[in-house]
Amino acid sequence: MYMRINGVEVPSASAEWRDVMNPATGEVIDRVPDGTSGDVGVAVESAESAFQKWSEKTTRERGVLLFHAASMVRDDHKHLARLLTMEQGKPLREATDEVRGFCNVLEFYAGLSSQPAGDAVRLGSQGDCMVLHEPLGVCGAIIPWNMPVLIMGWKTAPALLAGNTMVLKPSTTAPLTILSISAILEKAGLPPGVLNIVTGSGGSTGEAIITHPSVQKVSFTGSCATGCRVRELAGSCNKDVVLELGGSDPMIVMDDADVQKAVEGALRGRFYNAGQICTAVKRLFVHQDIAGSFISQLKVRVESFHVGNGLDPQTEMGPLNNLQQYDTLSGIMKSVKENGEGTILTGGSPVKGEGYDNGYFFEPTLVGDVAEDSSLLTGEIFGPILPVVVFHDLDTAISKVNRSPYGLGTSVWTRDLATVKRVFQDVHAGIIWVNRHVTVPPEIPFGGTKESGTGRENGYRALHGYTRTKTLFLGW
């Protein structure tokens, strides 16, 4: 596939290409241009040229277009979901959910287009004020490989509805579905140059987007290490950034929890998308009074999981997305085994054998008796490994939960309102779920504290994040 700049398919000025692989089979499924900073320059110019006309449309006109685009993406969801599975690895069911999730985000923001934007303030004898929210101009978006389509929606929908234009860089390992969707948005009527997709590595195209003087704001999702670099670069040019970074979300299961529901919550929370979600359950804290029965039920369910190619309808968990992920997780488990950092309750190794040898398959894994200084508890484990910690009182659980440098999400599983109140008040996180985990609908703000990032996506407030306020003071 080609990049999409100014509504047309283009190769890179470098004339170089990058292969995109299916992580389940090791086969090359397509290739994309290896973009350069020069390509970013062309994309930004096209976004700048498109800005005036796009921003002059009414919000309602832009909303109508987004509604129409969502419906066209829905019509093509089967093909898009299949492509997403092939480049990302996730089961087809999850890929379908993700494509539909993208449409939901577009529709949510399109729905906001009928709301009045801005305020009028009366100041008595001094006069009256009109407060407007103007679009910023050209915005940048940098997308990871784990939920590329959904995250594309989180960034493009509010930015475009607010009247901005955009240059977006997908991850090198999952650019294809994003390119296909942007072609559909153009068919739906998005004018050329409003959304430009530049493929290529983060070090070249990503940094070029952040540092380009005409890019007004950058929204980034990815690792904390890259997030620090993005913050540094954006700070050096005094640019606004949203950083959605890593997490090590705890799930706290109290002794009064509905155990069966919580077991299913832990399964979905940890093993959906092979655990490669920033808000996945990455540390499980179980009250000692129910720990025995909870852990044995969870182990039975984990051991029955069908790991395989995401295109196989039986598959419940696909491969990891890339070799780096595979090597990182293999290295973590090697260290856990060699240094006695915990007891492996099930799994713990790559999956090998016929049908698995060319893919990045890893066993769904549970680890108990985890050492407090193990990277399973102190770092972000971006894959299907779940450390289980047994606790005897909520105070201890909260203090362990807060020891992490991350603060993205937390869930508590309980029937007791006082417990909910305590967790809500004392746990450092951007979102607290009760008897749920991972669900992030477009209606609610999403983002973290501490090393998990700054700024929020989703919800109506994210729309304001893509505007600047301008006030007209009328001194009659």
DSSP state of 348: -
CB 69 within 8 A of CB 189: yes
Type of residue at 197: I
C-beta closer to ligand NDP: residue 66 or 243: 243
Q: Determine which residue in the list 195, 245, 386, 389 makes contact with ligand NDP, applying CB under 6 A.
A: 245
Binding segment for ligand NDP (CB under 6 A), chosen from 27-35, 187-195, 199-207, 340-348, is 199-207
* Interior/surface letters 439-458, b for 16+ CB within 10 angstroms, e for the rest: ebebeeebbbebbbbebbbb
Collapsing DSSP states into helix, strand and coil, what is residue 187? helix
CB atoms near residue 469 (< 10 Å): 11
Classified as helix, coil or strand, 228 is: helix
The answer to the question of residue 430 lying near ligand NDP (CB under 6 A) is no
| Candidates 5-13, 176-184, 196-204, 250-258; binding stretch for ligand NDP (CB under 6 A) | 196-204
Q: Where are the beta strands (DSSP E) in 334-460?
A: 343-346, 365-368, 385-391, 406-407, 409-413, 431-434, 449-450, 453-454
Residue whose pair of structure tokens reads 């109506």 in the numeric block: 460
| Cβ neighbour number for residue 435 with a 10 Å cutoff | 15
> Distance from CA of residue 60 to its chain's centroid?
27
Which region among 21-29, 216-224, 435-443, 466-474 touches ligand NDP (by CB under 6 A)? 216-224
Which is closer to ligand NDP, CB of 127 or CB of 203?
A: 203
Q: Which of 278, 380, 450, 451 is an active site residue?
A: 278
Q: Using CB under 6 A as the criterion, what x/- string covers residues 378-397 for binding ligand NDP? A: --x-x---------------
d(CA 451, CA 465): 20
Inter-residue contact 177 to 148 (CB < 8 Å) = yes
Min. distance of Cβ 346 from ligand NDP in angstroms? 22
Considering the rule CB under 6 A, would residue 90 count as an interface residue with ligand NDP?
no
154-193: contacts with ligand NDP (CB under 6 A): 169, 171-172
Among this protein's residues, is 155 annotated catalytic? yes
- Tell me how far, at minimum, the Cβ of 247 lies from ligand NDP, in Å: 6
Q: How far is the CB of 432 from ligand NDP (least distance, A)?
A: 18
* C-alpha closest to that of 248 among 439, 433, 402: 402
Residue 142 sits in the site that holds ligand NDP (CB under 6 A): yes
Q: How far is the CB of 379 from ligand NDP (least distance, A)?
A: 8
Q: What is the C-alpha to C-alpha distance for residues 240 and 253, in angstroms, rounded to an integer?
A: 38
429 binds ligand NDP (CB under 6 A): no
Please pick, from the candidates 141, 190, 230, 397, the single residue that binds ligand NDP as defined by CB under 6 A. Answer: 230
Beta-carbon-side half-sphere exposure of residue 318 (alpha carbons within 13 Å): 28
Q: Rule CB under 6 A: which of 263-282 touch ligand NDP?
A: 278
User: Which of 137, 202, 387, 455 is the binder for ligand NDP (CB under 6 A)?
Assistant: 202
Least gap, CB of 200 to ligand NDP (angstroms): 7
Q: Is 228 a catalytic residue?
A: no
Binding residue (CB under 6 A) for ligand NDP from 222, 359, 368, 442: 222
Catalytic residue among 107, 186, 341, 457, which? 457
Positions in 303-332 near ligand NDP (CB under 6 A): 325
Rounded distance between C-alpha atoms, residue 166 and residue 143, angstroms? 13
Kindly compute the dihedral angle of the four CA atoms of residues 427, 294, 275, 283, in this order, to the nearest 10 degrees: 30
Is 203 among the residues that bind ligand NDP (CB under 6 A)?
Answer: yes
- Residue 124: helix, strand or coil by DSSP? helix
Q: Could you say which of 37, 223, 358, 435 contacts ligand NDP (CB under 6 A)?
A: 223
CB of 282 to ligand NDP, least distance (A): 10
Give the residue with the Cβ less far from ligand NDP, 143 or 427: 143
Amino acid at site 66: L
Minimal CB distance to ligand NDP: which residue?
202
3-state class (DSSP) for residue 422: helix
Closer residue to ligand NDP in complex, CB, 232/373: 232
The residues in 1-30 that bind ligand NDP, with binding defined as CB under 6 A, are none
- How long is the chain? 476
Chain centre to alpha carbon of residue 420: 26
**Known active-site residue 457:** yes
Q: In degrees rounded to 5, what are phi and psi of residue 287?
A: -65, 140
Write down the catalytic residue from 45, 87, 107, 244: 244
Tell me if 55 sits within 8 A of 468, measured CB to CB. no
Residue 145 sits in the site that holds ligand NDP (CB under 6 A): yes
Q: Which of 155, 169, 217, 282 is catalytic?
A: 155
Please identify, using beta-carbon distances, which residue of 321 and 419 lies nearer to ligand NDP.
321
What SS3 string covers 243-269?
EECCCCEEEEECCCCCHHHHHHHHHHH
Q: Which residues are catalytic?
A: 155, 244, 278, 457
Binding site for ligand NDP (CB under 6 A): 142-146, 169, 171-172, 201-203, 206-207, 221-223, 226, 229-230, 245-246, 278, 325, 380, 382
